[in-house]
Amino acid sequence: MLDMSRGKPSAQQLALANDMLTILGPNDCVTENLTDARNYGGLDGIMEMKRIFGQMLNTPAESVVVGDNSSLTMMYHMIAACMFDGDEAWAKQGERVKFLCPAPGYDRHFAICQKFGIEMLPVPLNDDGPDMDIVEQIISRDAKIKGMWCVPVYSNPTGIVYSDEVCGRIAALQPAARDFRLFWDNAYCVHNFAEDRPQPFDILRLATNPDMPVLFTSFSKISFAGAAVAALAASEANRSKYLNHIKIMTVGCDKLNQLRHARYFNNLDGVLNHMQKMAAIVRPKFEATLDILSGLEDIADWTRPKGGYFISFNAKPGLAVKIVAECKRQGVIMTEAGATFPYGNDPLDKNIRIAPTYPSLDELTQAMKIFSRVARQESQKIVTRGLCT
Amino acid sequence: MLDMSRGKPSAQQLALANDMLTILGPNDCVTENLTDARNYGGLDGIMEMKRIFGQMLNTPAESVVVGDNSSLTMMYHMIAACMFDGDEAWAKQGERVKFLCPAPGYDRHFAICQKFGIEMLPVPLNDDGPDMDIVEQIISRDAKIKGMWCVPVYSNPTGIVYSDEVCGRIAALQPAARDFRLFWDNAYCVHNFAEDRPQPFDILRLATNPDMPVLFTSFSKISFAGAAVAALAASEANRSKYLNHIKIMTVGCDKLNQLRHARYFNNLDGVLNHMQKMAAIVRPKFEATLDILSGLEDIADWTRPKGGYFISFNAKPGLAVKIVAECKRQGVIMTEAGATFPYGNDPLDKNIRIAPTYPSLDELTQAMKIFSRVARQESQKIVTRGLCT
């Protein structure tokens, strides 16, 4: 089976950070603030990592809270804190909470909403970001809309980058809900592979309401996917909300792994240097994928990202489920059709997420040829069915 | 300030595991099940660590789920899963959920209950475990009692070990609530410093209802307090419940840190060898503390543990808050009086938790002399007040 279902780094990508494994020796476990990183404590993380995350996100180090392995966990806990904590908790306000979900989007974001019973309202995601005419209109009317998911740089799965104009309109949003929050998942903020890195929009400073944006990012696709360090950046009020929530379940995150990352990457330049080596591995896989897809221009369209982890493929309406099922039968596992939409429901059944990074170039080529042939055959069947009726 | 408020290991204890920092090299990141520990996945942990935890807890490796840094986090999520997930969730059953809390006990257990609005019913903790006459009586009557906290070995803070008879009665409990669960926190299962290690009671096999016990432990006070590995052991139903809950918030725990622990400790013998070195550091601190306390026999009593992290000190009723406050004034921070009881409410205001491990032997001696003098003075004041009235 060729598994192209998840955005996993390849072994070659992971190996780029191998020197990090042994970088932290016994005489190097004290942070610049004189904390012994081996011991308990430090709920908000070490300053060395706050500084690096601040540079990556283009936001002050003081606004950063460093977490463990997964930014997804931090998103989950931030939403749990908003749902349940304090007198003004979302869950205590009576009616059901709603989130705007630009779609196609990231299935794990949607799964968190489903877990908390948050109603998801899909919003079209254009080439420059969410359709802001729609967003502005519905957000200003409905006080039950408490949040919106955004992946502003190399969006999952379309790979688009929000334009400065769209970011500006998001920053200026006037939601009916005073406690509306923007979940700004900048997972791919340094993951360019084909051009200059887009400068992250300074949403925390530029938002009309500084308590609106909550930024997230992580090293999951920079160092080791399963053993990285994640972060959140937000206003003091939001940081307190988050920390008060997690302090019940932990005495602090793994500061040794934070220090390991700090020693290895040092600063933004260290991260960007590393990501250039990463680009040299990832770029050829995207190019090979796009090259094979290019024969399908008469029956489908797809995105041509300059960074991130995915290509978003649109077949003719009604074909995504069929193509994914037939690929599976032929030994190629794609992300489940529909996964890129809230409730797994792609209204036109046309979107398929392609994740080119994990397989070797050979396997990828093999898998994409099968995918391409299947896409062609399924489209053909429509024509045939069309002719017969 | 001399801080004796928390059960933190000293730098000397942490240094025992220093070789673990660099034990995992680039060519050693693949687990025995051929998983690349650097990449995503493996929600339930690696087999190497399941096996070690199984040996420590005296339970099959297959029943173990390995987590990240903190067993507290795993307890929190297990309770969250019971509270909210599925049709039979505790929170959906109408009335308020209750937990039995043997007291004095662990403040962070109680904080989790408070967070979830679980009503805590204190139960006396005797020298051989919870008062089982009381436990059996109330548990068989009240179907809203859904859980009980247990620290069966070197209990926090009294340091007592549950007797086999008490463990047997716990295993045979017939709670009115079919979905009653035992939160069996075996945090100190290998932390003996003065005699042979008590063999962990095989609660998972011996419980009348195999879905009743959920076991927890961690390496927090074995390797690095802030960068350890935790585990849960339970029936298949409970493991599924836990994993289904956490799969929404994470793709998997830090497998590199799991592998680091597995390579360093190898098996139970490796752990026990390590804990003998630990005992050589910890034992003198307990001895020094008990030595200084010995002058107070006319005005107080206290426990004399053979393992664990704490000594439980009982002053004359009404004095705990006063002693802790006066110690603080004199530069010694003790655990907040009352913290060892649900809602921070020690009904007799007499219990104080002493944590001897973190300070150096000199600092500890200094702090305990101040504590001892303050305890003496505050007791004297009662006598004086008594004489004046």
SS3 A292: helix
- Paired tokens of A376: 């062609």
Q: Residue B134: helix, strand or coil by DSSP?
A: helix
- Give the other-Cβ count within 10 Å of B211's Cβ: 16
Domain assignment present for B19 = no
Residues of A in contact with B108 (CB under 8 A): 248
Which residues have CB under 8 Å from B93's CB, separation 6+? none
Residue B267's contacts (CB-CB under 8 Å, 6 or more residues apart) are B51, B52, B55
* pTM of the predicted structure, to 2 decimals: 0.96
Banded pLDDT at A249 (limits 50, 70, 90): very high
Q: With an 8 Å Cβ cutoff, are B69 and A70 in contact? A: no
| Strand-by-strand arrangement of the A351-354 sheet | A301-302, A311-314, A351-354
Residue A202 counted as domain residue: yes
Range list of β-strands (E), A193-249 = 213-218, 230-233
- Note the pLDDT of residue A167: 98
Flag if A69 and B254 touch (Cβ within 8 Å): yes
Is-contact B217 B231, C-beta < 8 A? yes
The pLDDT tens digits for A161-215 are 999 999 999 999 999 999 999 999 999 999 999 878 999 999 999 999 999 999 9
Average per-residue pLDDT in chain A?
96
- Residues in chain A closer than 8 A to B41 (CB atoms): 226
- Cβ contacts of B36 on chain A, cutoff 8 Å: 11, 14
A351 - beta bridge partners?
A: A314
Instruction: Check whether residue A226 and residue A292 sit in a common domain.
Output: no
Q: Which two structure tokens, joined as six digits, stand for A74?
A: 């931090």
Chain B nearest-CA distance from A44, in A, is 13
Whether residue A256 sits in one domain with residue A185: yes
Taking a contact as any Cβ pair under 8 Å apart, which residues of chain A between 343 and 382 contact chain B? none
Residue with tokens 């190019």: A287
Give the per-residue pLDDT at B312: 97
Question: Would you give the end-to-end CA distance of chain A in angstroms?
Answer: 37
Helix (H) or strand (E) holding A332: strand A332-334
Residues 6+ apart with CB under 8 A from B21: A22, A24, A25, A26, A29, A256
Q: Which of A11, A24, A70 sits opposite B250 (nearest CB)?
A: A70
Answer yes or no: do B26 and A38 touch at CB < 8 A.
Answer: no
Residues B285 and B238 grouped into a single domain = no
pLDDT digits (tens, 9 = 90+) for B14-64: 999 999 999 999 999 999 999 999 999 999 999 999 999 999 999 999 999
Convert the pLDDT of each residue in B223-280 to its tens digit.
999 999 999 999 999 999 999 999 999 999 999 999 999 999 999 999 999 999 999 9
Q: What is the identity of the amino acid at A274?
A: H
pLDDT, tens digit, for every residue of A139-174?
Answer: 999 999 999 999 999 999 999 999 999 999 999 999
What letter would DSSP give residue A123? E
Q: A291 and A264 in one domain?
A: no
Residue type for position B218: S
Number of other residues whose CB lies within 10 A of the CB of residue B345:
12
Instruction: Answer whether A170's CB lies under 8 Å from A102's CB.
Output: no
Among B10, B40, B83, the residue to mutate for chain A (most A Cβ within 10 A):
B40
A37 interaction partners in chain B (CB closer than 8 Å): 226-227
For residues B152 and B136, give the distance between their C-alpha atoms in angstroms, rounded to a whole number: 17
Q: Is residue B17 part of a domain?
A: no
**Which of A34, A114, A224, A264 is the best mutation test for B, with the most CBs of B within 10 A?**
A224
Mean pLDDT value across residues A335-362:
96
> Predicted confidence band at B94 (pLDDT cuts at 50, 70, 90)?
confident
Q: Are residues A29 and A44 in the same domain?
A: yes
Neighbouring residues of A338: CB distance < 8 A, sequence distance ≥ 6: A320, A321, A344, A345, A346, A349, A351
Is the confidence metric ipTM above 0.85 for this complex?
Answer: yes
What does the buried/exposed string (b/e) look like for A53-78 if buried means 16 or more CB atoms within 10 Å of the residue's CB?
A: bbbbbbbebebbbbbbbbbbbbbbbb
User: Cα(A100)–Cα(A135) distance, rounded to whole angstroms?
Assistant: 8
Instruction: Report the pLDDT value the prediction gives residue B226, as an integer from 0 to 100.
Output: 95
- Within chain B, strands assigned E span 2-4, 64-66, 98-103, 119-126, 129-130, 145-150, 181-185, 213-218, 230-233, 301-302, 311-314, 332-334, 351-354
Q: Is residue A375 part of a domain?
A: yes
- CA A201-A206-A210 angle, to 5 degrees, is 120
Backbone angles phi, psi at A351, to 5 degrees: -90, 135
Q: Is the pLDDT of residue A388 over 60?
A: no
Query: Is residue B60 located within the same domain as residue B192?
Result: yes
Residue that is written with structure tokens 């004046």 in the block:
B388
The reply to whether A249 and A323 lie within a common domain is: no
Which of A19, A40, A44 has the highest number of chain B CBs within 10 A, making it the mutation to test binding with B? A40
Residues of A in contact with B360 (CB under 8 A): none
Report CA dihedral (B46, A110, A73, A140) to the nearest 10 degrees.
Answer: 180
CA distance A178 to chain B (A): 25
CA angle, residues A184, A186, A191, in degrees to nearest 5: 165
B251/A70 Cβ within 8 A: yes
What tokens appear for A5 in the block?
């279902």
Separation of alpha carbons B183 and B235, rounded Å: 13
Residue A2 pLDDT: 87
Task: Quote the tokens at residue A38.
Answer: 């081996």
Provide the CATH number for the domain around residue A314: 3.90.1150.10
Query: CB–CB of A249 and B25 under 8 A?
Result: no
Contact by Cβ (8 Å): A100, A123: yes
pLDDT digit string (tens) for B310-365? 999 999 999 999 999 999 999 999 999 999 999 999 999 999 999 999 999 999 99
**B388 within a domain of the structure (yes/no):** no
If asked whether residues A31 and A100 sit together in one domain, one would say yes
How far is CA A189 from each of CA A196, A201, A266, A286, B84, rounded to the nearest angstrom? 12, 10, 17, 18, 35
Cβ of B343: how many Cβ atoms within 10 Å? 13
| Shortest Cα–Cα distance, A115 to chain B (Å) | 7
Per-residue CA distances from B46 to A382, B214, B298 (Å): 47, 19, 53
Q: Of B185, B248, B360, which to mutate for an interface test with A (greatest number of A Cβ within 10 Å)?
A: B248
Residues of A in contact with B14 (CB under 8 A): 36, 38-39
- Shared domain for A179 and A248, answered yes or no, is yes
Contact between residue A327 and residue A371 where contact means Cβ atoms under 8 Å apart: yes
What's residue A94's pLDDT?
86
Residues found in chain A: 389
Range of the domain at A303: 2-12+279-388
Count of the separate structural domains present in chain A: 2
Q: Exposed, middle or buried, A384 (CB in 10 Å: 0-12/13-18/19+)? A: exposed
pLDDT tens-digit map of A57-104: 999 999 999 999 999 999 999 999 999 999 999 999 988 999 999 999
Statement to judge: residues B160 and B217 lie in one domain: yes
CB contact under 8 A, A72 and B111: no
Residue the block writes with tokens 């403040």 = B107
C-beta of residue A106 within 8 angstroms of C-beta of residue A308: no
Q: Using 50, 70 and 90 to split pLDDT, how confident is the model at B370? A: very high
Is the Cβ pair B36, A14 closer than 8 Å?
A: yes
pLDDT of residue A182: 98
Q: What share of chain B is helix, strand, coil (3-state, %, to 5)?
A: 40, 15, 40
A-facing residues of B in 236-265 (CB < 8 A) are 248-257
Kindly identify which residue of chain B lies nearest to residue A37, measuring between CA atoms.
B226
Closest CA to B230 of B82, B107, B53, B31: B53
CA A270 to chain centre: 22
DSSP lists the bridge partners of residue A333 as: A3
B98: phi then psi, degrees, rounded to nearest 5: -125, 150
Q: Are residues B128 and B167 in the same domain?
A: yes
B177 within a domain of the structure (yes/no): yes
Closest chain A residue to the Cα of B111, Cα to Cα = A248
Return the residue of A nearest to B6 by Cα: A40
Where a domain ends, among A234, A269, A304?
A: A269
The reported pLDDT for the residue numbered B382 is 81
**Closest Cβ–Cβ partner in B14, B19, B253 for A69:** B253
What residues of A are in contact with residue B17 (Cβ under 8 Å)? 38
If contacts are CB pairs under 8 Å, which of residues 80-109 in chain A contact chain B? 108
Asked whether residue A188 is domain-assigned, the answer is yes
| Inter-chain CB proximity B25 and A29 less than 8 Å | no
The pLDDT tens digits for B133-192 are: 999 999 999 999 999 999 999 999 999 999 999 999 999 999 999 999 999 999 999 999
In the listed set A239, A269, A299, which residue is the last one of a domain according to the structure? Answer: A269
Beta-carbon contacts below 8 Å between A and B: 146
pLDDT at B8 over 90: yes
> Which residues in chain A are closer than 8 Å to B77, comparing Cβ atoms?
249
pLDDT at B1: 84
Count of residues for chain B? Answer: 389
Percent of chain A, pLDDT > 90?
95
Closest chain B CA to residue A9: B39
Q: Which residue of B has its CA nearest to A110?
A: B248
Do B195 and B80 sit in the same domain of this protein? yes
Interface touch B40/A255, C-beta < 8 Å: no
- Is B174 in CB contact (< 8 Å) with chain A? no
pLDDT given for residue B351 in this prediction: 98
Show which of B269, B290, B305 is a domain's final residue.
B269
The share of chain A scoring above pLDDT 70, in percent, equals 99
Helix (H) or strand (E) holding A181: strand A181-185
Indicate whether A274 belongs to any domain.
no
For B245, the closest chain A residue by CA position comes to A115
Q: For residue range B193-233, list pLDDT tens digits in order.
A: 987 899 999 999 999 999 999 999 999 999 999 999 999 99
Distance between CA A303 and CA A290 in Å, rounded? 9
Of A17, A248, A253, the CB nearest to B69: A253
CATH number at residue A249: 3.40.640.10
Between residues A5 and A247, which one has the greater pLDDT? A247
